[in-house]
């Protein structure tokens, strides 16, 4: 059956998808980014103070403008995964997945029995129970599960991680990965280049989505990632969009005054 989740459908077809990132817990951020035309928007709950009540508002704003709502969860914890999905997330990005077993646990926590062990709820995701049957019978094939690869142990286990059935892809985290090898932010270091190549080759060979976050709000970085083979690309962050646009404007004003 064809997925209703448009990002899932593109992943299955091997078509690149483009998303962005929310760190400001306000509906305006969700709606502005979704209106821009991104395929998906990820709400970051790992590195922000965003709570579950705010999450529901953000997901509603994202979905109302045609994008899929994802969440970068705080931990590979079945309770966290269950609550985020019950809030209405269409996908999860799971931090610090280092082994096949950890990837399997994330997938199973996101799926209802018999494919997993996600608990049943009549929450927002199922229309508060109003369309429970449809949601229950479609969620397992619709929910996107992405594992973050951000430790050298994960790189060592990448082939077994991407072989997990139900895992839709991986998301490379270069800062934490470089830190795990004691070469923080040395992205041109031979160890980092080798790790990146290994993750890329294994993931694409397995036919899974290959993710990366181009934090600069510039198109050239996204273009370079596409040429390299990445096909699940996060384009900057709400905070950086705001910062870069305001700084560019003020710089232009100052230059015009002094010219």
Q: How far is CA 106 from CA 56, 75, 145, 167, 199, in A?
A: 21, 10, 8, 9, 19
How far apart, in whole angstroms, are the C-alpha atoms of residue 110 and residue 161? 16
CATH ID of 6-258, from 3.90.1200.10, 3.40.50.1820, 3.20.20.60, 2.40.40.20: 3.20.20.60
Which DSSP string do the residues of 106-124 spell out, in sequence order?
A: HHHHTS-TTT--PPP--SG
Which of the following is catalytic: 26, 47, 65, 189?
47
> In terms of C-beta density within 10 A (0-12 exposed, 13-18 middle, 19 or more buried), how is residue 230 classed?
buried
- 232: helix, coil or strand? strand
Q: Is 47 an active-site residue?
A: yes
Token couple for 32: 């502005």
Token couple for 82: 């269950």
Domain ranges (residues) in the chain = 6-258
Residues with Cβ within 8 Å of residue 165, at least 6 apart in sequence: 107
Reported pTM: 0.96
> In 3D, which of 99, 113, 188 has the Cα closest to residue 147?
99
How far apart, in whole angstroms, are the C-alpha atoms of residue 254 and residue 259? 9
100-147 confidence digits (pLDDT tens): 999 999 999 999 999 999 999 999 999 999 999 999 999 999 999 999
Tell me what pLDDT residue 258 has: 82
Tell me what pLDDT residue 4 has: 85
Tell me what pLDDT residue 3 has: 56
Residues 72 and 95 sit within 8 Å (Cβ to Cβ): yes
How far apart, in whole angstroms, are the C-alpha atoms of residue 71 and residue 51? 12
Tell me what pLDDT residue 218 has: 92
Residues 88 and 64 sit within 8 Å (Cβ to Cβ): no
According to DSSP, residue 67 is labeled P
Helix (H) or strand (E) holding 148: strand 144-149
Across the chain, which has 259 residues, the per-10-residue mean pLDDT values are 81 96 98 98 98 98 97 98 98 98 98 97 95 95 98 98 98 96 96 97 98 94 97 97 95 88
Residues 68 and 39 sit within 8 Å (Cβ to Cβ): yes
């Amino acid at each position: 059956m064809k997925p209703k989740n448009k990002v899932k459908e593109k992943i299955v077809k091997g078509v690149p998808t483009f998303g962005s990132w929310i760190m400001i817990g306000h509906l305006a951020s969700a709606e502005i980014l979704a209106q821009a035309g991104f395929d998906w928007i990820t709400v970051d709950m790992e590195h922000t103070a965003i709570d579950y009540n705010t999450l529901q508002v953000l997901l509603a704003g994202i979905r109302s403008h045609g994008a899929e709502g994802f969440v970068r969860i705080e931990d590979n914890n079945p309770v966290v995964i269950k609550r985020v999905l019950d809030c209405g997330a269409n996908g999860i990005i799971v931090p610090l997945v280092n082994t096949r077993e950890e990837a399997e646990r994330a997938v199973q926590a996101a799926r209802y029995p018999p494919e997993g062990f996600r608990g049943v709820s009549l929450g927002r995701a199922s229309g508060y129970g109003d369309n429970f049957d449809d949601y229950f019978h479609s969620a397992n094939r619709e929910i996107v599960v992405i594992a973050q690869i951000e430790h050298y142990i994960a790189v060592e286990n990448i082939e077994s991680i991407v072989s997990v059935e139900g895992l839709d892809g991986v998301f490379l985290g270069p800062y934490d990965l470089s830190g795990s090898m004691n070469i923080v932010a040395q992205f041109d270091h031979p160890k980092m280049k080798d790790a990146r190549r290994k993750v890329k080759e294994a993931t694409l060979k397995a036919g899974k989505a290959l993710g990366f976050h181009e934090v600069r709000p510039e198109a050239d970085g996204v273009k370079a990632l596409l040429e390299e083979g990445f096909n699940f690309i996060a384009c900057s962050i709400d905070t950086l969009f705001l910062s870069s646009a305001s700084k560019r404007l003020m710089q232009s004003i100052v230059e015009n005054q002094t010219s």
